[in-house]
Structure 1
Amino acid sequence: MHLKDVLSMRARPAAGIFMALTRRCPLSCEHCSTNSLISSEEYPEEMFYRFVKTFTPENKPDVILLTGGEPLLRPKLVIDITEWAHSIGTTVCLISGMFFANQKEIPPLIIEALSGVDQFTASLDYYHEKQVPRAAVFRALHQLLNQGKDVSLQIVGLNEHDPYLADVTKDVLDNFGNRVPMFVSKVGDIGRARNWLNKQQLNSNIDINPEPCAMSAWPVVSFDGTIVACCNQDVINGPAPSHLRLGHAAVDDWEKVRERLVNSNFLRAIRVFGPEYLTKQYGSEDQACDGYCSTCYKLSDNPIISERIEPLMKRSTIDFVEEKVLLFQQKRQYGIPNYVHLVDVGYESGKEEIQ
């Protein structure tokens, strides 16, 4: 599976699910959004596997994206989830910080885990390179490519002018040609980066227009099993506001979680209009917008918004609007504008080879 295929599905509600299998990570990158350490919390494997086993051939996500922390600290769980997913027709993707690349050879159990996943993404940036050298990451990616694995890179920089981004993307193209697509974005103001990142001053935008949210389209199973409707790390860390909480992996099944995500009028409205527009149009006069995600986090604080959204989402035209927003979002280009074309690397040639 190509990176572009995964991103094109991102806006379709319940098309995929994120699963953070652990918060532990052997690396301690200074920009880590999850504040992960090797001593971070980790919950029983059985809980995650139990939830995945509720997926059926008739009712399942198309894609499971395994993340963490570092999911490859639990290779047996990755193997078990992948085997069940494939048995019911679900694709498995995995993203790793590449801790294992510091060894000359990829450990056998990790090789076994990676051999099953359909798409593998490696994190590579200035902060990761302090702990896992670029040459080591490239060596491991060459090994995986030689075994026929679809691989991609997730790269972050400070901004579109960050010289690191120009250097590393050129290096990837020089070393791999059209074999490794790249998703390039900015370091987030979250986790450990929040302590040092220069924050841009928020603009007070009086004219707030609808801005659909794709981040509320896929459920996220967090480290402790809580299932939320948003991949923002503050929501995952919890406690999640009530309108973004979908259930828990220890007690709920996929059918219930999917129904809550897809049919909640609150979440449908967020996906169509965005939180700032909803607050401005349907909130109380004293409710201010202080950033896109921050505004969403506080939507549950004022029940009047929920009351006013219900009749809005029952209008006969809303289904049509949702369909058009989804089509728009599926064509959306993610990441830093100067680098969005790197998502397409190898895409056409790959399609030609399949045909």
Structure 2
Amino acid sequence: MRSLRRRPLDIAARQSADVLTSFQREAWTNIVFSLTRRCPLACEHCITNSLPSTAMPVLGSEEAGIWASQLKALADRGLKHVTFTGGEPTLAFNALEVLARSASEADLETALVTAATWANSDRQIHRTVDRLAPHIAMWDIGHDSFHAGRLELGRLAIALDVLRQCGARVVIRFCKRADGTDRDYLEKVRGIAGKDIGVMVQPVHELGRADAHMCEDNGSALDVPCLSTGLFVREDGSTGPCCGGLGYAGRYSHPFAYGNVNETGLLHAWRKWRQDRLLRLQRLVGLRPLLAQLQRSDRLDPRALQGNHVCETCTHLWGDGGKEAETARRWGEESLTTAVLDGVETQLYGNVWQEDLSGDFADGVER
């Protein structure tokens, strides 16, 4: 079993602390909408196990309109960012447009995570960009050698030029292969990205269909805090803690569900996400204290120590239904733990988040 002994942080890790804090601060004010698990692709490295299958539901315009009508209330309560993902979110095009428009009208920063499969024709490029660009601030395009067979680089280059012309902000997310055989392709992607579009290179994580494409050991996942991306809302209204492993693989069998927004409303679920003491502990100080406690009491699943990334560790720890979650959550609620977390949160973010729950939220249900 892997030891819980702390590894010394290297210079790169210390330099990344500010980036991590910035990411965590943004996630604290973010909601992620997964509009469908359906995708035209079936990439072998997909952490969401998305497929072209028609059996996978797509968010409808009517439901999207109901959610969209609630975004202004969330903005008034501190929400600043909305992210759209999937599957391929543009397959729920009308719902995406409704939500993106309402989010931008509420002065919320919007981001679209897409594989750009719509770039396979000029008509689709212009339809997508013309209708969405006024409401989408950041285009997060996933493209790498796994996607190459379904979208030629020349088509992606045309899409990037159209996005440039309308002043959109764009980043390309490139998942690298463990064997390094995609280095030349990475340079080609960088070539069409130019100097104005960033290319983010990341390893493949052992989630979803990606088990066969693990990258080299990236160091201890135990020294990295949870990277929860914000409340995760699926196309059926169910919720989760993030768009990582538990958002998909552990869809309903983990301790981080915050109700169905079709029944309780978005604001209720978002508040519950922000109030979750166990998630707060993971986000502020990482998984090491939880793992150490469980290991000392012989209640730790050994798989939780085998991951190279915090999302892998978290999925192994809680993905089986989180049988130890209530014990761990009690640790997060103890007065001493709360005091420590309050200090960490104040140091990182300037204050401890609090909200008056009287009035419209006194009984936990929106009025």
Matched residue, 2:76: 58
Unmatched 5+ stretches in structure 2: 1-17, 305-312, 351-367
Matched residue, 1:125: 144
Task: Sort the Cα spacing of 1:171 and 1:313 in 2 relative to 1 into closer, same or farther, 3 A.
Answer: farther
Residues of 1 paired with 2:90 and 2:299: CA distance? 43
2:39/2:87 contact within 8 Å kept: yes
2:169 to 139, 146, 150: 150
Matched residue, 2:327: 304
> Which is worse superposed, 292-301 or 183-192?
292-301
How many residues in Structure 1 have an aligned counterpart in Structure 2? 316
Residues of 2 paired with 1:202 and 1:64: CA distance? 30
1:78 to 87, 96, 111: 96
Task: Sort the Cα spacing of 1:219 and 1:9 in 2 relative to 1 into closer, same or farther, 3 A.
Answer: farther
State the Cα distance separating 1:296 from its structure 2 match. Answer: 4.0
TM-score when normalising by structure 2:
0.76
Matched residue, 2:227: 214
1:279/1:299 contact within 8 Å kept: no
Deviations 1:40-65 (A, max 9, x none): 41144233442232122412521111
Q: In angstroms, what is the RMSD of aligned CA positions?
A: 3.0
Matched residue, 2:206: 189
1:265 to 272, 277, 283: 277
Residues of 1 paired with 2:109 and 2:255: CA distance? 28
Unmatched 5+ stretches in structure 1: 328-355
Residues of 2 paired with 1:282 and 1:133: CA distance? 48
Residues of 2 paired with 1:119 and 1:76: CA distance? 19
Letter in 1 for 2:171: S
Matched residue, 1:246: 258
State the Cα distance separating 1:172 from its structure 2 match. Answer: 3.8
Task: Sort the Cα spacing of 1:50 and 1:62 in 2 relative to 1 into closer, same or farther, 3 A.
Answer: same
2:246/2:254 contact within 8 Å kept: no
Letter in 2 for 1:121: D
Task: Sort the Cα spacing of 1:283 and 1:309 in 2 relative to 1 into closer, same or farther, 3 A.
Answer: farther
TM-score when normalising by structure 1:
0.78
Q: Secondary structure at the match of 1:125?
A: coil
Q: Secondary structure at the match of 2:143?
A: strand
Matched residue, 1:225: 237
The percentage of counterpart residues that share the same residue type is 22
1:78/1:113 contact within 8 Å kept: no
* Within-5 A mapping of 1:1-355: 9-12=22-25, 13-39=27-53, 40-45=55-60, 46-55=62-71, 56=73, 57-116=75-134, 117-159=136-178, 162-164=180-182, 166-194=183-211, 196-198=212-214, 211-215=224-228, 217-281=229-293, 285-288=297-300, 289-291=302-304, 292-293=313-314, 294-297=316-319, 300-302=322-324, 303-312=326-335, 315-325=338-348
Letter in 2 for 1:62: K
State the Cα distance separating 1:202 from its structure 2 match. Answer: 11
